[in-house]
């Protein structure tokens, strides 16, 4: 139907002046492969932009183990790489082949081995290697977890993909910029706020039942896996606080020793800070510590409803 297409294009060329580029959908094509190249390709030739999809693994090299043995269990890892020293370069997927027999069981072991023996330029955060510090949070095979707690699947045929936390600005390779996350955490005033002293002048005490209410809230390590798995947080990162910060906000709202419950609730009482949560539940699904941020958010909403 080339004639219909031609007529369509003639018609749309008239309205091109008043139609914003955002609405200019391309026409689909079966035979002409070059026609499907996005306009961004021409635009990139003029003004390269680092913030777009990385060069896929089919177009980049594979770095292999130095001295493979005969019964080596080789597994391929595709890791997101971007170098801020070349800010206009596209991010790319670098492939590494590792012998699983020489590597520890967790993804972090694989990353450390790559950095030590194969490619020292690979950059990632890590600290405790036991899932308590929250530094090594990254997106592994589509799931936001801690690399030190994520076992390497032993099937050699499956190729693992390691990306940084989704929809965050990237400092380098797998290191996201957590600035806004920490600023949001600071904004909920995550400390005990009390104007009256303790009744007998000693510690601020609470009953065992009250202390039990904090279980599942205080264990949060602020790894940001949940917040960066939330689509609402992706689209409204500046205004929506995200499940991690809301969980911590509830930790203080639910604390019986805290006296500023009303102020904490008022801080959340606007259209964006709390109520962009639409119970997508990605957060609870992905929490590497097994916490339930969605439940905490529901409890906050319940405590604020009809009051």
Partner 1 sequence: MASVMRPGLLRQSFASPAASQRVFSTFTSSAARQSSPLIQQLRPAFARDAVPKATRIAAFHATQRQQILPPLPQKIEGSVNTAVPVPNPDYSHGSYHWSFERLLAAGLVPLTVAPFAAGTLNPLTDSILCALLVLHSHIGFESCIIDYFPEKRIPKLRVAAHWALRIATVGLGVALYSFETNDVGITELVARLWHA
Q: Given the rule CB under 8 A, which residues bind partner 1?
A: 2, 5-6, 9-10, 12-13, 16, 21-22, 24-26, 28-36, 38-40, 42, 49, 51-52, 169, 177, 179-180, 182-184, 186-187, 232, 235-236, 238, 241, 266-276, 278, 301, 304-307
Comparing CA positions, the residue from 256, 259, 261, 258 lying closest to residue 300 is 261
Residue 100 CB, shortest distance to partner 1, in Å, is: 34
Contact 261/193 with Cβ under 8 angstroms?
no
**Strands (DSSP E) found in the chain:** 62-63, 74-81, 92-99, 137-140, 143-146, 160-163, 170-172, 175-176
What span, in angstroms and rounded, lies between the C-alpha atoms of 25 and 15? 13
Contact 54/93 with Cβ under 8 angstroms?
yes
For the CA atoms of the chain, what is the radius of gyration?
Answer: 25
Q: How far, in Å, are 225, 280, 306 from residue 284 at the CA level?
A: 10, 9, 26
Minimum CB distance to partner 1 smaller for 167 or for 257: 167
**Strands (DSSP E) found in 104-209:** 137-140, 143-146, 160-163, 170-172, 175-176
Region of residue 142 (phi > 0: left; psi between -120 and 50: alpha; otherwise: beta): left
């Amino acid at each position: 139907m080339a004639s219909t297409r031609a007529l369509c294009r003639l018609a749309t060329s008239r309205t091109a002046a008043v139609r914003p580029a955002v609405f200019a959908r391309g026409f689909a094509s079966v035979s002409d492969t070059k026609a499907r190249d996005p306009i961004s390709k021409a635009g990139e030739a003029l003004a390269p932009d680092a913030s777009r999809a990385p060069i896929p693994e089919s177009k980049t090299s594979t770095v292999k183990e130095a001295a493979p043995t005969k019964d080596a269990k080789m597994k391929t890892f595709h890791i997101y790489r971007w170098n801020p020293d070349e800010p206009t370069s596209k991010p790319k997927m670098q492939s590494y082949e590792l012998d699983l027999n020489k590597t520890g069981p967790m993804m972090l072991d694989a990353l450390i081995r790559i950095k030590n023996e194969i490619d020292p330029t690979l950059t990632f955060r890590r600290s405790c290697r036991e899932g308590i510090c929250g530094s090594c949070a990254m997106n592994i095979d589509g799931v936001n977890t801690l690399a030190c707690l994520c076992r390497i699947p032993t099937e050699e045929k499956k190729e693992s993909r390691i990306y940084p936390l989704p929809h965050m600005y990237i400092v380098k390779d797998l290191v996201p910029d957590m600035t806004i996350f920490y600023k949001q955490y600071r904004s909920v005033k995550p400390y005990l706020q009390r104007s009256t002293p303790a009744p007998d002048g000693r510690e601020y005490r609470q009953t065992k039942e009250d202390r039990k209410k904090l279980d599942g809230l205080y264990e949060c390590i602020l790894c940001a896996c949940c917040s960066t798995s939330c689509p609402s947080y992706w689209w409204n990162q500046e205004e929506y606080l995200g499940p991690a910060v809301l969980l911590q906000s509830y930790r203080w709202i639910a604390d019986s020793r805290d006296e500023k419950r009303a102020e904490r609730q008022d801080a959340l009482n606007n259209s964006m800070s709390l109520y962009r949560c639409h119970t997508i539940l990605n957060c609870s699904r992905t929490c590497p510590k097994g916490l339930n941020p969605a439940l905490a958010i529901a409890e906050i909403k319940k405590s604020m409803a009809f009051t």
